[in-house]
Chains A and B, each alone.
Chain A
Amino acid sequence: MRVSSTALALVWCAAILAAAMPVWGQRTSKPGLLAGANAASVIQSVLSAPTLVDYEGTKIVTAVRGEQAETVTILESYKRFGKLRLEFLSPESTSGRLIVDDGASSWHYEPSLHVVIRGPSFVTTSTRTDAEAILKRYDARVLGSEQVIGRQTLVLELLPKTRRLTRRLWVDQATGVVLRTEERSQSGELLFSSFFSRISYSLNLPSALFRFHLPAGAKIFTFYLSGDPIQDLQELSRQAKFAVKAPGTLGGVYTFQSGTIARHGALMAVSLLYSDGVNIVSLYETPSSKMAFPALGTSLVMRSGRGRWLDLGYFRVVIWESGGISFAILGTLPAESLVAMAEELNAVKP
């Protein structure tokens, strides 16, 4: 009887382990096990989500700026196709801020100043990018599945060929909505994270939620983007009245998309857009005779001369002067990647 009770205990242990194995295996599945087609289908579900589902939830975003981190809590509501409402809850400096975007224009209301600023929409439901195009530029793999706020998600890792920035997305298996995001530098340092602490899906959120009502007596400003995209560099230089430096690629993978002449008050700058198929890097050029060297951020030593470094949390900016032109390069890339691009650009002849 003694032997048989031990054997029974062993059998029970074996049964429990056997039952637990699939769950354990699923939660800690090794990279590559669900790669390939699965990664493509997860990416496709993320791309399709904005056309399939309405939701409203509370999002907590943390962006790291140098030695500081700022956490922002936002009530985010989304309605198909491309309607967005953001109500900022904290910190105090953003509390009460409202953004209503109807897919064509956005309205920003700042209650502490009682001003409304109208501008272009920043919501896109464009399906120009497809999963295959992303997979050509990125190594994507499904790391496994995890529960996020009680919902089953697939953890997708997107690793650009340059390995400069790693993104992990926790994608709701049922809806394709990204419930959690993390961006890390090449050295593994966390640069950005966001997650929903609560979300509820809806088949149809009321349209009235995405209609902006102008508060009585509010002062209105209108800031739209200036200029149409120009692909021809000669035309861009002609309009800018100086020789624009625009290499075909930056950092090996970011290819030139288009340029515009950006204007705001006394400022005139050439804006050049580069993309690796997903991620965007912007380059701005303006003659030093037309713009003094900005005295913000921290000093930066570059081979070409003086530079400034500005960390906004999600975006990082490098500003420098070379050959009578002030340059600024912006992106979500880590500092060293942007500085390398700046040095690469300095070597290019206009």
Chain B
Amino acid sequence: MGHARLERQLSAYIDNELTADDTQQVRAHLETCVGCREELQRLEHVKRLLGSLPERAPVPQVFEELRQQIISQAPRESGSVLEAISNAFRRPALAFAAAAIVVLLIAFPLVKGRIDRLRAAEVGPDVFVREHALSAVADPFADRAYVGLLVTDANLALIGEPRSRGGSLR
């Protein structure tokens, strides 16, 4: 830690507001720096003087004046929010970003709906075949081995890895 920074921390040092490490560093610095020791003595003197002053209660009208100021600032604050928004739209980059967000919010459901519709057409037949095959085992004469093949082929299609089916010309 440099001299300038340690000098700024002397006030906090007097008030015991530093961490243990920082306190240790300030103490080590004070042992070698005459300027900081003099500054520390000045600060301790000021603190003693301030501590000896009597406490005085504020005059009652102080609170009333504060309340009036708070009330008078409230509408000005909301006005300033609207003003800030208005200012933001005067900046082209911000205006463009806001417009892009609005367009995205409107377009996203439409695009998603279209993608979902195409995706449903893609997986639909495989889902139908799989569910039908699983229902078809209620037929006591159904060939389970072949039903198994159809179910597992549909499984692969549904995970996006359809089997390349062979087959010879009759």
Contacts and interface: CB of A to CB of B under 8 A. Distances in A.
Interface of A: 46-47, 59, 61, 63-65, 67-72, 74, 76, 84, 86, 88, 91-94, 97, 99, 101, 106, 108, 110, 113, 115, 117, 119-120, 122-124, 126, 129, 158, 167, 169, 178, 181, 192, 194, 221, 223, 225, 262, 264-269, 271, 273, 275, 278-280, 282, 284, 286, 289-296, 310, 312-315, 317, 319, 326, 328, 330-332
B140 interface: yes
Given A282-B132, A290-B117, A314 B125 contact: no
Contacts of A86: 144-145, 148
Contacts of B139: 278-280
Interface of B is mostly: helix
B141 A93 contact: no
30 contacts: A61-B143, A61-B146, A74-B145, A86-B144, A86-B148, A93-B164, A101-B148, A106-B148, A108-B151, A110-B152, A110-B161, A115-B161, A117-B152, A122-B137, A124-B137, A124-B138, A181-B143, A194-B143, A221-B159, A225-B131, A225-B134, A271-B131, A282-B131, A294-B125, A310-B125, A315-B133, A326-B124, A328-B124, A328-B125, A330-B129
Interface of B: 115-125, 127-141, 143-152, 155-156, 158-159, 161, 163-170
A318 to B, nearest CB: 11
B124 A286 contact: yes
Contacts of A282: 128, 131-132, 135-136
Contacts of A178: 141
Given A47-B140, A295-B121, 16 more contacts: A74-B145, A94-B149, A110-B152, A119-B134, A266-B120, A267-B119, A267-B120, A279-B139, A282-B128, A286-B124, A292-B120, A328-B125, A330-B128, A330-B129, A331-B132, A332-B136
Most B CB contacts (10 A, CB to CB) among A262, A266, A279, A291 go to: A266
A194 B145 contact: yes
B151 A290 contact: no
B151 A119 contact: yes
Contacts of A284: 124, 128
Contacts of A119: 134, 151, 155
Contacts of B121: 291-295
A331 B131 CA distance: 11
A62 to B, nearest CB: 9
B146 A63 contact: yes
A72 B146 contact: yes
A99 B148 contact: yes
A225 B152 CA distance: 14
A292 B151 CA distance: 23
B156 A110 contact: yes
A116 to B, nearest CB: 10
B137 to A, nearest CB: 5
Which 7 residue pairs are nearest across A and B when measured between Cβ atoms? A266-B116, A292-B121, A68-B167, A291-B120, A282-B132, A267-B120, A70-B167
